[in-house]
Amino acid sequence: MDLASLFQGEGYFADEGLLTAVHLALLLDRPLLLEGEPGVGKTELASVLSRVLDRELIRLQCFEGLDSGQALYEWDYPRQLLRVRTAESRGEDIGDLYAEEFLLQRPLLRALRSARGAVLLIDEIDRADNEFEAFLLEFLSDFQITVPELGTLRAEHPPVVVLTSNRTRELHDALRRRCLYHWIEFPSAARERSILDAHVPGLADDAADALVSAVQDIRALPLLKRPGIAESVDWARGAAALAAEGSSWPVALRRALGLLIKDEEDTRVLADRSEEIFGHS
């Protein structure tokens, strides 16, 4: 499988290190743990991988307080209660209140029961509590769960698992050992240019070069929130729209900065260096 070509066909330009990590994760059936700053393409990789493999993408968005019930399954208590009341009012047998029809499948159970196997994205695992991380380690080891009322449910086709983390807290070594790990850097100038060519077609060469150079310089500044790939693409689209209305390219870049920089303090930092980055305009 030529992952580089397949990913590029989806507009995702991965470097050799990331491609190797994905290849080994698929080859060895290991969860892939991706870390890196926000905006480097961690979440998007799972989406692209699902399309390349022609598998359903199932996403579990982690947050503080997430528990196993919210991630695995819950029983539909309102429907169960309605069944009880309806049966009683009609003098009928209540039946099995823990049949499949009352089972609400949450992302982890859906991934286990996917007919063709799924790509399971466990997004921002660092936002979840330590207790959930420990539970997740057991789930990833066996790809099975026990529902007391139904028995043990095992995956016929284990999901391809991608975990992402922005390092808001350190993950346990036990989880790291279970996964294949890769840190995603911000793209090089050449790779970012390829991304712009794919996502902002028709952008003039000199404009694309100027924008990529500016983005690379801006990321080198002491910012609170360095702009990611999605922001640079949005910036290119916005600046191109303004240039089409008659603004010169340097002016268009300045006017569209709200698509790139999303913090007041960062705006001030950039203002002090704007002439250096954008030149006179």
Whole-number pLDDT of residue 137: 85
Burial of 34 (C-beta count, 10 Å sphere; 0-12/13-18/19+): buried
Higher pLDDT, 122 or 99: 122
Q: Average of pLDDT values for 51-68? A: 94
Separation CA 41–CA 34 (nearest Å): 10
pLDDT confidence tier of residue 68, bands split at 50, 70 and 90: confident
Separation CA 33–CA 266 (nearest Å): 29
pLDDT confidence tier of residue 226, bands split at 50, 70 and 90: very high
Helix 42-53 / helix 16-28 crossing angle, nearest 10 deg:
50
Nearest to 68 by CA among 129, 127, 123: 129
Whole-number pLDDT of residue 276: 83
Portion of the chain with pLDDT greater than 70, in percent: 99
pLDDT confidence tier of residue 280, bands split at 50, 70 and 90: low
Please report, for the chain, how many H helices and E strands are present, in that order: 13, 9
Portion of the chain with pLDDT greater than 90, in percent: 68
Using DSSP, state whether 208 is helix, strand or coil. Answer: helix
Q: Are strands 180-183 and 56-61 parallel, antiparallel or unpaired?
A: unpaired
- Burial code (b: 16+ CB inside 10 Å, e: under 16) for 76-92 equals eeeebeebeeeeeeeee
Q: Average of pLDDT values for 188-208? A: 92
User: pLDDT tens across 230-261, in order?
Assistant: 999 999 999 999 999 999 888 999 999 999 99
Residue 278 confidence (pLDDT) above 70: yes
Whole-number pLDDT of residue 272: 87
Are the C-beta atoms of residues 62 and 71 closer than 8 Å to each other?
no
Burial of 202 (C-beta count, 10 Å sphere; 0-12/13-18/19+): exposed
pLDDT confidence tier of residue 154, bands split at 50, 70 and 90: confident
Q: Which amino acid is at 22?
A: V
Whole-number pLDDT of residue 58: 97
Residue 281 confidence (pLDDT) above 70: no
Residue 155 confidence (pLDDT) above 90: no
Whole-number pLDDT of residue 97: 86
Residue 164 confidence (pLDDT) above 80: yes
Are the C-beta atoms of residues 126 and 165 closer than 8 Å to each other?
yes
Using DSSP, state whether 58 is helix, strand or coil. Answer: strand
Nearest to 127 by CA among 60, 49, 72: 60
Lowest mean pLDDT among 188-192, 212-216, 273-277: 273-277
Are the C-beta atoms of residues 62 and 108 closer than 8 Å to each other?
no
User: pLDDT tens across 38-50, in order?
Assistant: 889 999 999 999 9
pLDDT confidence tier of residue 277, bands split at 50, 70 and 90: confident
The mean of the pLDDT values for the chain is 92
